[in-house]
Amino acid sequence: MKLYFSLFFFIFSVFCFSQDLAILKYKGGGDWYGNPTALPNLIKFCNENINTKINPKPQTVETGSSDIFQYPLLHMTGHGHVFFSETDAENLYNYLMSGGFLHIDDNYGMEPYITKELKKVFPDKDLVELPTNHPIFSSVYIFPNGLPKIHEHDGKRPQAFGLFNEDRLILLFTYESDLGDGWEDTEVHNDPADVREKALKMGANIVKYAFEN
């Protein structure tokens, strides 16, 4: 019991006082390293606009590593295959249930794989679409219509899906939006300034929400 309490207190302390985030490195061959300029740009935007003090150089942590517990927010992206081992799934479960938050941004083509692998983490939970009045769309900046559309792929509307532990959103899956592309350096995709701004503001909302809930 004493050991359990000490571990809980350690995790609680990290999540309460840490303001860092990390990139989640997963197995399966998907490009977890995609959009290399995205998170540094989002961090810079947050530090300048919403009073965060995030390390400007995001770290990389592996799904099955205890290092994930050092970060209240993990970011995951890619275009294709994702695989969680039994150890990965158990580690993610413990992380999310103890207060962590995972943002998965589909960079295009990730959805069928991540949907399947999340069932290993939460066999009894399904991704549910967030309503436009969910607090994550107004934690800093107001998005009355929900998730913004940043890049076009299949002509589908952008959707934000979540997994919940009771009333707490513990995982956000952004689909057909491509927020990460909008966070990248301007010359990477040549997005208009207003589109990049929308992406960065929505990203700031996610960061704010994850740090405070």
Cross-strand bridge partners of residue 169 = 164
Structure-token pair, residue 112? 């069928």
Pairing of strands 59-62, 21-25: parallel
CA angle 120, 98, 164 (to 5 degrees): 60
Residue ranges making up the domain that contains 37: 2-212
CA atoms of 184 and 137, how far apart (whole Å): 21
Least confident of 12-16, 18-22, 95-99, 131-135: 12-16
Residue 112 has what pLDDT?
A: 93
- pLDDT: which is higher, 137 or 151: 137
Residue 142 has what pLDDT?
A: 98
Question: What's 137's domain CATH number?
Answer: 3.40.50.12140
Domain count, the chain: 1
Least confident of 31-35, 46-50, 63-67, 172-176: 31-35
pLDDT at 190 over 90: no
Per-residue pLDDT tens over the stretch 47-76: 999 999 999 999 999 999 999 999 999 999
Residue 76 has what pLDDT?
A: 96
pLDDT at 133 over 70: yes
Residue 155 has what pLDDT?
A: 75
Q: Is the pTM of this model over 0.85?
A: yes
Q: What is the mean pLDDT of residues 18-34?
A: 88
Round to the nearest angstrom and report the end-to-end CA distance of the chain. 26
Residue 168, helix vs strand vs coil = strand
Edge-to-edge strands, sheet with 21-25: 59-62, 21-25, 73-78, 101-106, 168-175, 159-165, 128-129
Are 158 and 177 a contacting pair, CB within 8 Å?
A: yes
Calculate helix-pair angle for 111-121, 86-97, nearest 10 degrees. 80
